[in-house]
Amino acid sequence: MPGARIVVEIRGSELESQAREVSQHLAELYVTLASGIVDDRVDHWATSMGLRPSAVSVRTYRSSWGYCRRDRSISFNWRLIQAPPEVIEYVVVHELAHLRHMNHGREFWN
């Protein structure tokens, strides 16, 4: 989505309520868009790396790009699609690597 822009203009007396509603709809849109992009990249890299997560999801996180759980499910922050493509690739590979090594120890980085 490089170069894509969404401009929202809200007028009227119910500004705060309308702004919350628009914000919610935009977040839902981004989750949908991110799901398609992330699913595609996970499929590509999971095949290449010989790894398969139990599930892939897109969520809202305040301070992380992605997360791998012990049940082998991985999730990604929808805001990741606002990052450059090479960052998306890195985060997908990073989370898939946690399927082999759950921590950031020496073996994870090798």
pLDDT digits (tens, 9 = 90+) for 44-88: 999 999 999 999 999 998 899 999 999 999 999 999 999 999 999
Q: Is residue 43 situated within a structural domain? A: yes
Distance CA 101, CA 33 (A): 29
Give 85's DSSP letter. H
Q: CA of 32: how far to CAs of 19, 29, 75, 78, in Å?
A: 20, 5, 14, 9
Q: Is residue 60 situated within a structural domain? A: yes
Q: Is residue 28 situated within a structural domain? A: yes
Q: What is the CATH number of the domain that holds 55?
A: 3.30.2010.10
Give 56's DSSP letter. E
* Per-residue confidence (pLDDT) for residue 1, from 0 to 100: 57
Q: Is residue 3 situated within a structural domain? A: no
| Structural domain containing residue 53 | 15-109
Q: What is the mean pLDDT of residues 3-22?
A: 73
Q: Is residue 63 situated within a structural domain? A: yes
What does R_g of the chain's alpha carbons equal in angstroms? 17
pLDDT digits (tens, 9 = 90+) for 93-108: 999 999 998 888 888 8
Q: Is residue 32 situated within a structural domain? A: yes
| 31 or 10, higher pLDDT | 31
Q: What is the count of structural domains for the chain?
A: 1
In this prediction the pTM is 0.78
